[in-house]
Every structure is written in structure tokens, then in C-alpha cells.
Amino acid sequence: MLGVFAWASCASGQAIDFETLPSGASTTDQQLISDEYEADFGVRFDLVDPVTLVSIGSPQIAKVGAPQTAFVGCGADTPLDGQGVGTSFLTDDNSISNQAGTLLLTYTDPVAQAAGVILDVDGRNTGALEEWTIEALDATMSIIDSVVLVAPGGMSECGGANGFGDGRAAGFLFNHASADIHFIVLRYTGNASSIGLAFDNFTPTTIPPPPTVTTAASTGSECFGNPIAIISAPNQGLEGFLYQWQHASVGGAFADIQGEILPTLLAPALAQAHDYRVVITDALLREAISNVSTISPAYPMSWTLKVETAVGSGVYDTIATDITPHQFNESLTTVYDWRQNEQYYHGGQPFLTLDRSHMFMTVAPGGQSLVFVHDAAAANGGGRTEMRAEFTGVTPNYAFKDDPFDLYRDEGTSVLRTRHTWGAPNTDGWAAGPLTDSWTAAIEFTDTFTGNPTIDGLADWYFYSADGSMYQLPLEADRKVMIEAVCNSCPADLTGDGSLNFFDISAFLSSFSAMDPIADFNGDGFFNFFDISAFLIAFSAGCP
């Protein structure tokens, strides 16, 4: 009987995970393994001749990180984060080669069931594919069952060129009516080169029960755009999980959030409450759906755009007081979709203009970000820029890097400095985030890297608001543009006196009758019962 299993993710609480020996001692990198698990688990491990199956040596432990002995993945011997496969695997030898060793598992007593995973079954940009064949043998060493793990299609989640299986775990199982499995053989049968074995989470006598999963998130309101961690907790199953987060308006139909495939989701606080859940798939392709976590409506934010009157003046003119961020259901990384062969911004909004620097804000999974995209994906003339952004109230990271080979300095501080160089047909740029609560950013094109042009290949600079408004900014070295973001954590205090009383109710009713935007409490652009309800909820909640 021949089965073909698509890749998946994996690990099990009852599995041999190669993190420790049965004695409880930790395994060490490149430690040889043979009969260490035989007394407790009834199985030993040998490297064998692929034809005769005669032992020619012992496999060894591979630990995450250097030295690289098993696979590349998301780094040297590093699987994709969050699968639950730990930091230790069983490999064939201490090198990556064009032919992986053949691993023989010998049972003390025959079994009816077994399951495990192989990491990093991926492809190559040449079209070559990795493939592993796992064979169950009877007492005469005849094949009675087999499973083939083939590299899946799609792009690498590790950012490399080796396809969707890059760093992921692929699972296999045998489930027989009687205990007729005396041996299991893992042999490489693919045509891709530069390979190694990474075997993990082996349940030698049973199949783990199906997985379950729960989620939990913080309760209470946050400022609009703040990232709120929703943490998943899988249980049972064969670990090495694949995660797919989903979202919905409260009570609505769920939809996948593209690119959100890790155990924790950073959901942005939005004007209206939203529901979230996660679907997990274990290494044996069994699914489980979590409970629903609801994120409360956010405190409203306001953003002001200002421009320095002259270089170094320190005096600013207000350009706009009603700018708004672009909202995306996917993370900024997914929206930007930078690829090695398409090194440019792929987002649908804002629309990019040739030879222009574009500045805009986003709110998406991961939080609120300030984004810069230079030029448009077209036959542009290329260019170079150097920028400096100084923040108060927040110390952001680089939420995205258009070209990872450009220079990005001072991450995690209040001042970020960048240098970019691009050529046709690509864009270049960067993003700072997450930006939380109230914050201010002063941005300028300036010579932060000695000896390089500050601005080259750009004709103008614009800020793009999500409401469709565009504001031209001075494309002038060392002249600052400022954004001030203010979170109103007590939105029902319409009189601004720090307390909630009859006067705030009266102010809301007057604003509502006049259809003043301040009375659009749920932020949907309409004035109706839902705004009244949202105001009353905010009024009842009081001021923090």
C-alpha cells in the first residue's frame, strides 16, 4: 500500500523529540544516537546501506543553529518558528551533501502504529524537489507499507528560494490492524541536491490523539491601531502545527487573514469590535478550530500633519488635522509582498506615482505603522535617499524593509536612520512600527550617512490619507515634516473637563443632531443608533 502525504507541521507530548534522553539528560549537538531509547521506547536507530540495510554507523543529534548539519530552513538547522518542533532533531551526519543517509529504526517488539515528522522537505528554483520515502518492514525486512513526503509548491516562508516546505515539518503515519511493523526505513528519493535528514517527534508505538486549540487575548479597550496579542495554545496532536488565523465582524462569517500563520496574532484595535480564531493543522493533517476571542472597540485616535516653515526653524504650520491610516486585513509585510524577483510595493493603496516619495500610515495585523515608499514599480530612473525619523512617546522597530540589503540603523530607539538605493523597475522604502498610544514623528531627508546624496531620482513628496486626500510636502533636505497622533482614552468626555456628566451627554446630542464627525462614535461614517449605543457604552465605562 502506497500513500502520499502533503507536508504539514508537527510534535507530540509522547513523542521522542530528541531534546532529552530517557534519563532526562539533555542531548548535545552531534551526539551519536543508537540504542539510547531502546529500553524505554523499544526502538534503536542506525544508519544503513540503502540496498542491504546493513548498519554502517549511527545517526547524530542536530541542534538549531550553527554548525549546519541537517538543513538550511530559516537559518542553519533552523525550522520555521512556532511549529512546536523544539531545537533538536536526528540527522544522518555532520554535513549537507547531495545524498542523505538512510536511517533504519529497529523495534524490539513489532508495533501496529507509528508516526513522526521530517523537517525541511522543500524544492529548488531549478524545479528539483526533495522527497523522502518512509517504509514499514515486516520481520523479513519486506516492505508492507510506505509513505512518500514530497516538497509542496508555493513560496518559502523563511524568505529563501527553496519553496513552501522550507523549514516546515512534514508528517507520516502507519496505522495497521495488527502489530506487523518490525522496522521503519527513512530513505531520500528526491532529485534535489544539498540535503540532509532532520527527523523529529517520533511516536514509535501509537498515533497521537487529534489536536485541540484554545485562544486568549487581553480584555478592555486599547488605542486605535494598538497591537493586541491573541495567543493560541494547541493540545495533543502531532506537533509541528500549521496555523491559519481568521477574523470576522462580531457574529459575522470568518475569513482567513493572509500570511498570519504563527501561534500568536497581533490583532490591531479597531473602531468596532472584531472576532478572531485560529485553525490549526497538525503534522498528520488533522484540523482543530479554536474558541473565538473578541477584541473590544478601540479608543479613537486623531492625527495631525505639520510642516516646518523653513529648514531648522523648529516652527511648524499645520497642513491637515483629519488624516487617517490605511486599514489592511493582512500584515504590512504581506501587503508589501517584497520578492527577490519583484522588489517593489505590491499594495493596492495608495496608488504610486513615478519619481515620487509616498508617505502614509497603516493599521494592520502587527499594529500601526508609518510607511515610506520611494518611486513606483515602472520604468523609473532609479534613485537614492537618506532619511531620519525622530519619535517621541514610542520607540518603534522597522516594521518592514523594502530592500533588506539597504541600510537601516538604530532599530528599537527613538531615532531611525535609513539609506536606500534602487533601480528600475523597483521601489524602495521602509516602515516604522508598531506605533502605540499617543506619539509624534519628525521626519526629514538628511545626510545621515556621510558622502552619499540625500535625495536623488525623486521629483516630489506627498502624504496619502486613507480618505483619498493627498498633501504635498517640501522635498527639501533637512526640512522636517511632523505627524502628531493623539489617543483619546476617554472619548465620552466631549467637554474635555476630565469628568463625565450631563454636559457631555448634551454635547453629544448636539453634535449628533448637527452630524458632527465627533458624534460618529463607531467610525462607520453614518449617524445612527449604533453611535448612540457606542457613546452610552463609553460614558458608562468612565475615564481611566
Q: Residue 448: what pLDDT?
A: 83
Distances (CA, A) of 230 to 24, 81, 365: 33, 16, 11
Q: Residue 356: what pLDDT?
A: 96
More confident residue, 320 or 518: 320
Half-sphere exposure of 505 (CA within 13 A, CB side): 8
pLDDT at 118 over 50: yes
| pTM for the whole structure | 0.81
Which cell goes with 66? 550553527
Q: Closest by alpha carbon to 280, among 200, 332, 364, 210?
A: 210
- pLDDT interval class at 7 (50, 70, 90): very low
Q: Return the top range by mean pLDDT from 344-358, 440-454, 504-518.
A: 344-358
Using CA atoms in the order 253, 529, 511, 368, what is the torsion angle rounded to 10 degrees?
A: -10
Please provide the DSSP assignment of 413-430 as one string.
SSEEEEEEEE-TT--EEE
Considering only CA atoms, give the Rg of the chain.
Answer: 28
Q: Which helix (H) or strand (E) covers residue 39, if one does?
A: helix 38-41
What is the number of residues in the chain? 544
Per-residue pLDDT of 13-37, as tens digits, reads 368 999 999 999 999 999 999 999 9
- pLDDT interval class at 12 (50, 70, 90): very low
pLDDT at 465 over 50: yes
pLDDT more than 90, % of the chain: 62
Distances (CA, A) of 491 to 302, 470, 528, 539: 11, 28, 17, 8
- pLDDT interval class at 8 (50, 70, 90): very low
Helix, strand, coil percent values for the chain (each to nearest 5): 5, 40, 55
Report d(CA 244, CA 280) in Å as an integer.
6
Mean pLDDT is lowest, of 85-99, 289-303, 391-405, for 85-99
pLDDT at 161 over 70: no
Q: Which domains does the chain have, with CATH numbers?
A: 2-203 (2.60.120), 212-295 (2.60.40.10), 301-487 (no CATH), 502-541 (no CATH)
The predicted model gives 380-389 an average pLDDT of 93
Q: Residue 454: what pLDDT?
A: 86
pLDDT at 9 over 80: no
More confident residue, 161 or 271: 271
Report d(CA 524, CA 124) in Å as an integer.
47
Per-residue pLDDT of 230-274, as tens digits, reads 999 999 999 889 999 999 998 899 999 998 989 999 999 998 899
Residue 318: Cβ within 10 Å count: 11
pLDDT at 125 over 80: no
Report d(CA 217, CA 228) in Å as an integer.
7
Task: List phi, psi (to 5°) of 108.
Answer: -70, -45
Name beta bridge partners: 462: 358, 472
pLDDT at 281 over 50: yes
Q: Residue 211: what pLDDT?
A: 96
Distance spanning both ends of the chain, measured CA to CA: 65
pLDDT at 6 over 50: no
Mean pLDDT is lowest, of 245-249, 432-436, 524-528, for 524-528
- pLDDT interval class at 523 (50, 70, 90): low
